[in-house]
Amino acid sequence: MSHSPSTKRLTAVAASAVTALALTVPAAQADPPEPTLRSEAPRDLKIGSAVWGQRDLLDHDRKDLTEFQRILAAEFDSLTPENDMKWAEIHPEPDVYDFSGADAVADFARAHGQEVRGHTLLWHSQNPEWVTEASATWTCAEARDVLEDHVRTVVGRYAGEIYEWDVANEIIQDDWDAGGVQLRTEANPFLKACADDPVDLLGDVFRWAHEADPEAVLFLNDYNAEGINAKTDAYYELAQELLADGAPLHGFGAQGHLSLQYGFDESMQANFERFADLGLQVAVTEADVRMPLGEDGEPTEEQIAVQAERYDKMLQACLNVATCSSFTVWGFDDGRSWVPDVFPEGYATIMTEEFVEKPAYDALLDGLADATPGRSPRTPPGLNR
């Protein structure tokens, strides 16, 4: 049925009137969403958590998340496999790779708009028995062949999905260890086999990773590396040497495993700034703040307050350095924290075992909300890539 021009005009007028009326009637106001760490972070600063895929994500059902999974998805836009990419888990036998845990982390991240930090390709700990046994007789050439196959296989599998890699983890020992601050050429099986020129091997590990995924940002990473000290001085010299040799080193990560038994190193920002001056990104990669607890297993109010302050200080050191690209907590709830299994301490994370947010969580949320958007660009001008 056709309409006359007058009928069309009347219909249009009536429609306009309905639209105008709708605009004058206030719609029901939905409650604004609760702020989260990822929603409050500066635009290009990734806020991450460690997660163990084999334990917590294999049963992932996007339509029916566990409480842990819901919080993980809501609060963080970066995930680090806590154990799933370590050698013992991902390469348990010479010719066997097990990607199930790492795939679970990558799949969860993809489903929830998150990215992944890879951890780790070269480490002296959590190596499978076949590595520790075979390395006793390895030549440097044999060690290099094994390591190159591992790096190219693992990095290549996740090329384009992992934005940062902890390539070399804890490769410099502390000044109180036997021999003082130096490369771990005794404890690390690969560095031991190539002890005549371990820096040459390190450079190649970065090259292999870069060739397997040219877009990934490649990090040195260690504990007790927050402030300026003998250990970070050694890392600073190593970074300069690697860069001078043309190695594709892109970043330096301070883990941030702190204890209230010790003071906070106020030189953390200055330490980050000197690595940034080399053209490197920096990151807080494994933050938690543990403490000794009383017989009742509970912290004091003072401990809780100091813990929140320590988390905030690490965050501020990151926010105040333009090349700080990510801030990662090493698990967000006490029920999954590694700390009580290793130290006679606890209460290290930002939520309780029941997922109750601590003042430490509030300190991070407030610090992120107050930060200037875009303060920490992922790829700043002049970045050494």
303 domain-assigned:
yes
23 domain-assigned:
no
Dihedral through CA 342, CA 343, CA 344, CA 348, nearest 10?
-110
User: pLDDT of 317-340, one tens digit each?
Assistant: 999 999 999 999 999 999 999 999
159 domain-assigned:
yes
Distance CA 69, CA 79 (A): 12
- Burial of 229 by CB count in 10 Å (0-12 exposed, 13-18 middle, 19+ buried)? middle
224 domain-assigned:
yes
377 domain-assigned:
no
- Total of domains in the chain: 1
Question: Is 241 labeled as catalytic in the residue annotation?
Answer: no
Distance CA 268, CA 271 (A): 5
378 domain-assigned:
no
What average pLDDT score do residues 17-21 get?
41
What average pLDDT score do residues 379-385 get?
33
Banded model confidence at residue 32, pLDDT cuts 50, 70, 90: confident
24 domain-assigned:
no
User: pLDDT of 48-97, one tens digit each?
Assistant: 999 999 999 998 999 999 999 999 999 999 999 999 999 999 999 999 99
Distance CA 233, CA 380 (A): 24
User: pLDDT of 174-208, one tens digit each?
Assistant: 999 989 999 999 999 999 999 999 999 999 999 99
Residue tagged active-site, from 75, 115, 226, 286: 286
DSSP annotation of 263: -
User: pLDDT of 104-122, one tens digit each?
Assistant: 999 999 999 999 999 999 9
Identify the CATH number of the domain in which residue 142 sits: 3.20.20.80
Give the domain extent around 228. Answer: 35-370
Tell me, what's the pLDDT at 28?
Answer: 55
Banded model confidence at residue 358, pLDDT cuts 50, 70, 90: very high
Question: Is 164 labeled as catalytic in the residue annotation?
Answer: no
Q: Give the tokens for residue 255.
A: 């883990």
CA distances from 329 to 18, 86, 110, 281 (A): 52, 18, 20, 18
Residue tagged active-site, from 75, 82, 164, 170: 170
Residues in contact with 90: Cβ distance below 8 Å, sequence separation at least 6, in sequence order: 84, 97, 98, 99, 101, 102, 154
What average pLDDT score do residues 343-347 get?
98
**Closest Cα to residue 145, out of 208, 219, 220?**
208
25 domain-assigned:
no
Banded model confidence at residue 128, pLDDT cuts 50, 70, 90: very high
User: pLDDT of 268-305, one tens digit each?
Assistant: 999 999 999 999 999 999 999 999 999 999 999 999 99
